[in-house]
Amino acid sequence: MWDTKAWDEVQRLFPDDSNGSRIILTTRLADVAVYAGSSSTIHHLSCLSPEKSWNLLHQTVFGEECCPCELEEIGKEIAKNCKGLPLALVVIGGLLYKGKRTLDYWMYVKQNVNSAVIGADDQFMEILLLSYNHLRHHLRACFLYMAVFPEDYKIRKSKLTKLWVAEGFIKPDRSKSLEAVAEKYVEDLVDRNMILAHERSYTGKIKICSIHDLLRDLCVRKAQEENFLYLCDRPVKNFPEGTYNQRRLSIHSDIYGHHLEDVYGSYVRSLGYYLYNSINETSFIRSFLLLRVLNAFGISFSEFPVEIVELVNLRYIALHIKTCELPASISNLFNLQTLIIYSYYTVKLPSDIWKMPRLRHIWTRNCFLDYPSAAGNGEKIALLENLQTLKGFLQLKVLLLYETDLEHLKADETNFPRLQHLTFSCCRELVEIPSAIGDIPTLQVIKLFECSTSAVNSVKLIQEEQRDLGNDNLQIIIQDF
């Protein structure tokens, strides 16, 4: 069942005689299940275990007969490759039932499970397409974007939502940030079983997402049919002519010897590299003048490619750089929203970065950043008025202090009026956390990892004070090793 209206129409046909009758309703949509019954009556089906998968496959292929010994081991591997999806097991079982019961044939099926399942039964693809066709329009682009990532790829929700925002998939909502709306889109797709919540936080929020292999095959197929992207996942001699006007490129395979920029440079808005290589020649980058998203974690640059600062349409940059000092001219990227720099060494960020008012997220493992010279009172910091993540900012939501020699912190609601998560990690010199921190109305969590005893005591006092004021929602997490 795909919507609540259908349930309303069906329910009218069943009299309520209180005679103990039961109705089983199946749906892929969580909101339909909740609408039709209380939460206690909802049974969430999980994927089958490897043992149950093999039992179902065995039953489909052999019935009450025994599986030949030489096929049992490879049969279990085929069942495992179906990733616990009953529909896939039944379809592949039907294929094996009709096919040759030889080791060579079963080995072929094992190596091509996904294509075998989809090719063996048009009804299987139709069932998956039903889920896609019932997606709201704004969710379709978000689902198709999962085709950008390699098979079995695990992506953090925080990164996925930033990419969606940069791509322009998110509808603005006056009452929520774009990232908050994007998070709701993730939850909607998980509720519809289109993507998987691979890992959740202790509060139940989604942390890492993935997509089932078979749904990814559907995703890739639809993305290519609708000219949503060109996926280069194998070595090619020449790029297909029909892909020259693609706006998104996802590179999973070696393309040395090909001049990507000559073919796609004037069209591409989004470029992702998911192979692992080193590149010294970076002049090709300037050909992608319309680029909005550059997700190149798979490439190791020797230094920051200065050509990037010419791409003024960029909203999202993710780079892996061996040695890194960002040029002051990065402030030319006035549309930039997210900057992610991974390096084994300290990244030096220029003070000009404070001149980028649309910058919302900065992530780097180790960095050196010059604060504005006149920022003793925090006034110049407000130049970054949209900043939400920097691991006093007026829009800052997440603040992490790691291995600092900070002894005293002077901060309150006026410095961080929208702070939600505050973390101190290995701040052993920190004497205390000021009680005024607890008065920040948006604050949800304070975490302390390996901090001084006095800091721990001060945060416990903050919790007591807030409880006395009726604030039972503030969470305090303390871990000592």
Give the integer Cα–Cα distance in Å for 160 and 210. 10
pTM of the model: 0.66
Rg of the chain over all Cα atoms, to the nearest angstrom: 27
Could you please report the per-residue DSSP string of 433-458?
A: --GGGGG-TT--EEEEES--HHHHHH
The answer to whether the beta carbons of residues 289 and 268 sit under 8 Å apart is no
Give the integer Cα–Cα distance in Å for 94 and 72. 16
Q: What share of the chain is helix, strand, coil (3-state, %, to 5)?
A: 40, 15, 45
Give the integer Cα–Cα distance in Å for 26 and 15. 20
- Sequence-distant (≥ 6) Cβ neighbours of residue 183 within 8 angstroms: 157, 161, 206
Determine the pLDDT at residue 262: 55
Could you please report the per-residue DSSP string of 96-155?
A: HHHS--SHHHHHHHHHTHHHHHHHH-HHHHHHHHHHHHTS-HHHHHHHHGGGGSPTT--E
Task: Look at residue 369 and give its three-state secondary structure.
Answer: strand
Determine how β-strand 445-449 pairs with β-strand 389-390: unpaired
Residue 133 burial class via C-beta count within 10 angstroms: exposed 0-12, middle 13-18, buried 19 and up: exposed
The answer to whether the beta carbons of residues 336 and 355 sit under 8 Å apart is no
Residue 290 burial class via C-beta count within 10 angstroms: exposed 0-12, middle 13-18, buried 19 and up: middle
Neighbours of 86 (CB within 10 A): 15
Give the integer Cα–Cα distance in Å for 294 and 337. 12
In CATH terms, is domain 50-120 a member of 1.20.950? no
User: Which residue, chain included where needed, has tokens 């309150």?
Assistant: 412
Give the integer Cα–Cα distance in Å for 481 and 472. 27
Give the integer Cα–Cα distance in Å for 198 and 196. 6
**Architecture of 127-216 per CATH?**
Orthogonal Bundle (1.10)
The answer to whether the beta carbons of residues 263 and 244 sit under 8 Å apart is yes
DSSP 341: E
Give the integer Cα–Cα distance in Å for 447 and 455. 11
pLDDT by 10s per residue, the chain, length 481: 777 787 777 777 777 777 777 778 877 777 777 777 766 677 777 778 889 988 888 888 888 888 888 888 888 888 887 777 787 777 677 677 777 888 888 888 777 766 655 555 555 666 677 778 878 888 999 999 999 999 889 999 989 999 999 999 998 888 888 888 999 999 989 887 788 888 887 667 888 999 987 788 889 989 988 889 888 877 666 666 666 677 888 888 776 545 565 556 678 899 988 877 666 667 778 778 889 999 988 788 888 888 899 999 999 999 988 877 888 999 999 999 999 988 877 788 888 888 888 888 888 876 777 655 544 444 444 455 566 655 545 677 888 888 777 787 777 777 778 889 999 988 888 888 988 888 888 999 999 998 999 999 999 999 888 887 778 889 999 987 5
- For helices 157-167 and 178-191, what crossing angle results, to 10°? 110
Give the integer Cα–Cα distance in Å for 162 and 338. 7
Same fold, 50-120 and 127-216: no
Determine the pLDDT at residue 148: 93
Domain ranges for the chain, please list them. 4-41, 50-120, 127-216, 397-481
- Sequence-distant (≥ 6) Cβ neighbours of residue 219 within 8 angstroms: 143, 144, 146, 147, 211
